[in-house]
Amino acid sequence: MLTINQPAPNFSLYDAHHVLHKLDDYKNHWLVIYFYPKDNTPGCTKEACALRDDSAKFEALNTKIIGISTDSSKSHINFSQTHTLAFTLLADPKGEVSRAYEALFKLGPIKFSKRHSFIIDPSGKVAKIYRSVSPSIHSQELINDLQQLQAEYKR
Q: Is 49 a catalytic residue?
A: no
Residue 125, number of CB atoms within 10 A of its CB: 13
pLDDT in tens, the chain (155 residues): 999 999 999 999 999 888 999 999 999 999 999 999 999 999 999 999 999 999 999 999 999 999 999 999 889 999 999 999 999 999 999 999 999 999 999 888 889 999 999 999 999 999 999 999 999 999 999 999 999 999 998 76
Q: What is the pLDDT of residue 155?
A: 65
Q: What is the pLDDT of residue 94?
A: 94
- Burial group, residue 110, by CB count within 10 angstroms (0-12, 13-18, 19+): exposed
Are 67 and 88 contacting, i.e. CB atoms less than 8 angstroms apart? yes
How far apart, in whole angstroms, are the C-alpha atoms of residue 32 and residue 41?
21
Q: What is the pLDDT of residue 26?
A: 95
Q: Can you give the pTM of this predicted structure?
A: 0.95
- Superfamily name and number for 27-154: Glutaredoxin (3.40.30.10)
Q: What is the pLDDT of residue 16?
A: 85
Angle of helix 138-154 relative to helix 42-53, nearest 10 degrees, comes to: 50
Strand pairing partners for 53?
none
Looking at 8, 23, 33, 44, which residue is catalytic? 44
Are 93 and 54 contacting, i.e. CB atoms less than 8 angstroms apart? no
Q: What is the pLDDT of residue 143?
A: 98
Chain length of the chain: 155
Strand pairing partners for 103?
none
